[in-house]
Amino acid sequence: MSDSPAEGILRYHEQTKHHPDRYARSIGYMDWDNQPNPFRVYEGAPIVSLPRLARDPPGGHLALYEPDRPCAPLTLANVAGLLELSMGLSAWKAFSGSRWSLRMTPSSGNLHPTDTHLVLPDMPGCDAGIYHYSPLQHALERRAEYPGELWRTAVAHFGCEGFLAGLTSIFWRESWKYGERAFRYCNHDVGHALAALRFAANLFGWRLTCLTALSDEAVETVLGLRRTDYPPLDEEHPDLLCLVHAGGQQPIPQTLPEELVAAFDKTHFAGRPNALSRAHVDWEIIGRAAELSRKPATPAEPLRFERPQMIAADASTLTAGAIIRRRRSATDFDRRRGIPRPHFLAMLDKTRPRDGVAPFDAGLGEPALHLLIFVHHVEGLQPGLYFFSRNDRDLPEVRRLARPEFAWEPVEPGFPLFLLAPGNFRQTAAMVSCHQDIAGSGAFSLGMLARFGDIVRREPFRYRYLFWESGMIGQVFYLEAEAHGARGTGIGCFFDDAVHELLDLTDDRYQSLYHFTVGHPLEDPRLTTLPPYFHLRDR
C-alpha cells in the first residue's frame, strides 16, 4: 500500500534517524576513487568572468543585520561581490600532498551539494540571461538568453528592480558519503546558502525575498533544469528562487508572472553538465524523499514579525566582510575557555526573527525552530540545560510536553531563554551528538527543536523548509561565533531520539533537526592555508 506524501516523508525522517546502536544506512566506507566533483560546469556555455572585490562593502559586525542600509547600484561588479561573499571560495587548505577548497558556506563533509543560478537583467558587461555560478572560476556560465523586455514584466510585477537567485541541490554529492541521511544534509546546506546570500545582500543594501508561492516545477522551468540532459544521478534538484531587490512595493509578491515562467519553458539552454563521478550508488530513498516533499504552487503568505531591540552592546570590532570571510568550522576546542554571558545572549538574540532584518526576513514563513542548549562554560551563567524560544506560539505546548520537573526559570527579563535544569551536560551533549567531543568541550552546544509533525502532515514540502530554517540558524551561529572571537561547527550527526528523550518527548510533535557547537578553537598546525583565488592569480 502506498503512503500519502506526508506519511512517506515522515517515514523517511524516521528511517534516517541515527541511534546509538544503529546509524542510518550509508555505504560504510569512503570510496575515494568515486568522490563526486564538488564543482558543476556547463561545458560549452559562454563564460562571463567576474571581478573580485577590491574592498568589501563598508560596515561593521552589525551591518549584517541593519535594515535600510544605503542601496548599491545593480551592476555586474556588485552582483559579483554578492556571490563572492556568499557562495564563493574562502580558502584552500593543504596537508600532506592534498589540497581542498573551502567556501563561505559550510557543508556536511565539505561536499557542497548546493549550486547557484542567477536570472539577470541586461546590465553593462552582461546580457539578460540565465547564468550558473562557478565558484571555482568566480565566473558565470550563460545558459540562456532571454529578451530584455521580458524582465520589464517582472519589474512591473515586483514593483522594484532586482534579479533572481536560484539554489539547486545535487543529492549524489552528499549521498556518496552519507547514504540515506544525505537528503537532510542537502537541505541544511540550502539553509546555510540562503542565509549567506541574505547577509551578503544586506551589505549591498539589498533585500532578499524567497518566491515561496512558486511550485518546484516553476523553479526548475526557470532555471532550465527540465531542459538539460544531466548524467544519471547528477541532476540538480530545484530548491528555491528568490528575488534580490532594493525594496519597494511591500510586500513583494512571492511568485512570478505566469508568462515569464512560460517563456523560460521555450528557451534553449546551452552547456553540457559535467559528469561528477565515474559511478553512482542509487540511494532510491533520497529520490523518493525529494518526490514526496516536492512543492506545489501555494498561496503567498506574507508574514510580518515584531522588531524587538537587538542586543548590540557587545558588537565585534571586525568588519562584516571579515566575519564572513573568516568563517570556519572548529575541529577541536580549548576546554578551559568559556565565553562571557553578554556574548552568549547576543548570539542567541541574532537567531530571533525580526521584521526587515537578515536573515529571517527572507520569507520562508512562520519560524518553527527553537534551541535546546547545553551550557558548558558561559561566564556568569550556571551550566545546565536551557531552552530558547524563537516563537512564543509553541512555548506553552513545549512546556506541557516536556519533563514536569524542569524549572523553566527565566534568565533575563523579557528574553525567551529559560533554565530547565542546572548541571554538567558535557558528556550528555557529546553523547547525543554521536559521541563527538566537540559538542561537549566548547562553551555551549545545542539541538534545534522544530515544531514538526503537524507542519509536515499539513504540507509535506515544509519538511525541507524546516531544515532550511535550521541551516539559517546555523549560519547565524557560525558568523556570531567568529564575531565574538570564538568558532562554531554545525553538527548533522546526532542521535535523534536520544535528544528527544532528554525532554521526554515521545511523539513527532517536536523533533531535533540539527545541532551546533561553539567554543574557542584549537587550530590544527599541520594544515597550510592558501588564499581563496590564488589559482586565478593570472586572471
Ligand X SMILES: Cc1cc2nc3c(=O)[nH]c(=O)nc-3n(C[C@H](O)[C@H](O)[C@H](O)COP(=O)(O)O)c2cc1C
- List contacts with ligand X (CB under 6 A): 102, 106-110, 185, 188-189, 192, 328-329, 436, 438, 489-493
Closer CB to ligand X, 69 or 192, in the complex: 192
Look at residues 516, 373, 507 and name the one whose alpha carbon lies nearest to residue 13. 507
**How near is the Cβ of 347 to ligand X at its closest, in Å?**
17
Q: Which is nearer to ligand X, 65 or 478 (CB)?
A: 478
Whole-angstrom distance, CA of residue 223 vs CA of residue 216: 11
**Shorter beta-carbon distance to ligand X: residue 249 or 529:** 529
Backbone angles phi, psi at 339, to 5 degrees: -125, 150
Q: How far is the CB of 277 from ligand X (least distance, A)?
A: 19
Separation between Cα atoms, residue 482 and residue 231, nearest integer Å? 39
Least distance in angstroms from the C-beta of 499 to ligand X: 14
CA distance 372 to 388: 7
**Beta-carbon contacts of residue 385 (< 8 Å; ≥ 6 apart):** 372, 373, 374, 375, 419, 420, 421, 423, 425, 502
- Dihedral-angle region of residue 352 (phi above 0 means left; psi in -120 to 50 means alpha; beta otherwise): beta
The CA angle 103-238-14, to the nearest 5 degrees, is: 90
Q: Which is nearer to ligand X, 25 or 272 (CB)?
A: 25
Is the distance from CB of 62 to CB of 315 less than 8 angstroms?
Answer: yes
**Closer Cβ to ligand X, 111 or 244, answer by number:** 111
Closer residue to ligand X (CB): 81 or 490: 490
Nearer to ligand X, 283 or 418 (CB): 283
Quote the cell numbers at residue 406.
524542569
Minimum distance between the CB of residue 331 and ligand X, rounded to whole angstroms?
Answer: 6
Decide if 420 contacts 384 (C-beta within 8 A).
yes
To ligand X, the closest distance from the beta carbon of 439 in angstroms equals 9
Minimum distance of ligand X from residue 435's CB (angstroms):
11
Residue of 27, 23, 13, 18 whose CA lies nearest to 281: 27
Task: Supply the minimum distance, in Å, between the C-beta of residue 390 and ligand X.
Answer: 19
> Within 13 Å of residue 290, how many CA atoms lie on the same side as its CB?
23
Q: Please, which residue, 6 or 472, has the CB nearer to ligand X? A: 472
CB of 75 to ligand X, least distance (A): 29
What secondary structure, in 3-state letters, does 384-403 show? EEEEECCCHHHHHHHHHHCC
The CA distance from 112 to 123, in Å, is 30
Cα–Cα nearest to 243, from 138, 122, 121, 106: 121
Closest-CA residue to 432 (of 17, 112, 63): 17
- 395 in Cβ contact with 241 (< 8 Å): no
Rounded to whole angstroms, the Cα distance separating 419 from 411 reads: 7
CB nearer to ligand X: give 87 or 130.
87
Residue 88 near residue 103, CB atoms below 8 Å: yes
Q: How far is the CB of 504 from ligand X (least distance, A)?
A: 25
In 367-461, which ranges are continuous DSSP H helix? 395-401, 426-432, 453-458
Closest CB 192 distance from ligand X, rounded Å: 6
Closest to ligand X by CB, 18 vs 354, is 18
Our CB check for ligand X shows the closer of 105 and 254 to be 105
Least Cβ distance, residue 180 to ligand X (angstroms): 15
